[in-house]
Structure 1
Amino acid sequence: MAALLRVLALLGLLLALNTAQAEKLRLVADSWPPFADASMPGGGLATVIVTTALRRAGYDSEFEQVPWARALLGVEEGRYDVLINAWFNDSRTQIGAFSAGYLSNRVRLLKRKGDPLTFNSLNDLYPYPIAVVRDYAYSPAFDADQRLQKIPVRNFSVAVRMLAAGRVGLTLEDEYVARYFLQRESRSVRDHIEFIDPPLSENPLHILVSLKTPQHQQIIAGFNRAIDEMKADGSYERLLKHYGF
């Protein structure tokens, strides 16, 4: 009888693990094309990479697009399991576990054409109001510098229109994202905006798995392993080329 009970307990444990693995992970992101956007094929490059890697690690998933602040709060509260496109900062380790970086983002400053601004250090930016997307992390030094005049806005489109209208002196964004949105702005906006060299930072892109999600560390380990396998077998590179990277 004791042996039978041990077998039944083991079967129950295996069934519970398989059930947990079979449940769909709730993925979330804001609209951030070309990396994440529900209107793009596959939900954008980051969405496709993440869902593919998780599937290879044994996890089915479903994706929901919400504003950034709601996505972050949802991960904190456990309403979502995985934020698919997070830059690292210390405060976010209180709500989730970070994967290894799976993409790289180059953050660049933008100004109005003809403005005599040069950028060599953060000190050069102090005189200028800077439109920043609310709750985004850009770089540890930039985020922590209280002397910068940061003007929170809802998204990059709002920021760049404020910049073109002269309501702020600067804004900033990942270069691919900025170019994607500028192509969709009117000529009165895009023809009056230019990038500043050098880049502010280069940030690896991670998934952030809610600490309230069971087995969050196992999910991270499986994701990291799957990304390494995708890079080794060439499927990662094929996805980059498909999205024009």
Structure 2
Amino acid sequence: MRIVVFLLSFISCFSFASQSVTFIHKNSLKTVEGQRYKSGLLYSAPNSKRTLHIVTLDWPPYISNDLCNKGWVYHFAVAVLNSQGYSVYLEFLPWARAVRNVELGKADILMPEYFIEDTAPSDYVKNKMRRELLGISNSFQGGNIVFLKRKNAPGIFTGNLNSLKGSTIGVVRGYQNTPEFDAMMDNEEFKVISAVNDLQLMQLLFAKRVDLIIGDPSVLTHSVTFSELNQSEKIALLNAVEQDGKPLHYNSLYFAISKLTPNWLGVLDDINQALYIFSNSGETERLINTVSEECAV
């Protein structure tokens, strides 16, 4: 029993291990240390305007509690808000729960999010569109969205989404994909099977429960490569799938802020100002390269 308690304590401490974030602001190198706080880490800003509660997900290689440095999007989020004088409490949650918490005002910011169309309905507030509940920032770097199929299976996606009609498509529950695809999904123009995460999505395709899956290929590949599957299972899974057709879309990433957050418009303006400064100064690219290289395999 003592061994079990020790191991649980060790795992808990590792999960909440402090992670420093370093960024350049006003030509000065700033470092902020994360301190364990509730079920995440708190990054305090000097003379803080207030503390903002960010909820996110495990979505490697962009961001994950299991990455050696939690990923470049993690560092980017802390740096963007800290540079504007906000302390940041950052918490990892399952994506559907993260979406729910921000839409209901139980957390302030959801990220990284894809663009949300005005017509996207909320799954958590009846008779409301998501954009009625959330404000969306300007964009930052993202990645391609593609369809994957099983190798040697006939291609389905021709470049026209109408080619998907009659197929069974695997999606991750709660993810935005593209406005056109999501509209067809809402209209039930093809059958959908939902997964709880990207690894399960890959397994649905491998098990022939779906014809295609949709997602960011770097995330899908990473979900298998760094999973707890044994090596032979990883190799079999990765070797069994391939991209179907050309990329569907390049999806930029966004911060989504709850409209129940006090002065949400002011916070959104501050985020957009920081995004502009980071992009124009080259700090966004520097953070992506520096943080990604730290965990290069």
Distance in 2 between residues matched to 1:156 and 1:53, nearest whole Å: 27
Q: 1:48 corresponds to which residue?
A: 75
Distance in 2 between residues matched to 1:59 and 1:41, nearest whole Å: 25
TM-score (norm 2): 0.72
8 Å contact 1:85–1:207 — kept in the other structure? yes
State the one-letter code of the partner of 2:215: E
The Cα shift of 1:159 comes to 1.2
Instruction: Find out whether 1:105 has 2:143 as its counterpart.
Output: yes
DSSP 3-state at the match of 1:70 = helix
8 Å contact 2:167–2:211 — kept in the other structure? yes
- 1:224-235 to structure 2, matched below 5 A, reads 224-235=272-283
Unmatched tracts of structure 2, length 5 or more: 1-46, 119-128
State the one-letter code of the partner of 1:135: G
8 Å contact 1:47–1:84 — kept in the other structure? no
Q: Which moved more, 1:101-110 or 1:118-127?
A: 118-127
2:189 aligned to 141, 147, 160, which one? 147
Instruction: Find out whether 1:178 has 2:216 as its counterpart.
Output: no
Q: Which deviations, in whole Å up to 9, do the C-alpha atoms of 1:77-135 show, x marking residues without a partner?
A: 21111112111222321211100011222101100000111422112222321111112
Higher relative contact order (CA 8 A, sep 6+): 1
Instruction: Find out whether 1:216 has 2:264 as its counterpart.
Output: yes
Distance in 1 between residues matched to 2:165 and 2:238, nearest whole Å: 24
8 Å contact 2:138–2:275 — kept in the other structure? no
State the one-letter code of the partner of 1:178: L
- 1:27-38 to structure 2, matched below 5 A, reads 27-38=54-65
Instruction: Find out whether 1:196 has 2:244 as its counterpart.
Output: yes
Please tell me the root mean square deviation across aligned C-alpha atoms, in Å.
2.0
Q: Which deviations, in whole Å up to 9, do the C-alpha atoms of 1:167-217 show, x marking residues without a partner?
A: 111101112212212323611211101112211112221000111111111
TM-score (norm 1): 0.86
8 Å contact 2:155–2:245 — kept in the other structure? no
Distance in 1 between residues matched to 2:172 and 2:83, nearest whole Å: 33
DSSP 3-state at the match of 1:198 = coil
Q: 2:89 corresponds to which residue?
A: 62
The Cα shift of 1:42 comes to 4.2
**Larger helix percent:** 1
Q: 2:66 corresponds to which residue?
A: 39
Q: Which deviations, in whole Å up to 9, do the C-alpha atoms of 1:25-81 show, x marking residues without a partner?
A: 101012111122122244322121111011111111011111111111100121111
8 Å contact 2:166–2:189 — kept in the other structure? no
Q: 2:175 corresponds to which residue?
A: 136
2:166 aligned to 112, 117, 127, which one? 127
Distance in 2 between residues matched to 1:41 and 1:56, nearest whole Å: 23
Tell me the number of residue pairs that the alignment of Structure 1 and Structure 2 aligns.
Answer: 227
Distance in 1 between residues matched to 2:259 and 2:53, nearest whole Å: 13
The Cα shift of 1:218 comes to 1.1
Distance in 1 between residues matched to 2:217 and 2:66, nearest whole Å: 20
Unmatched tracts of structure 1, length 5 or more: 1-19
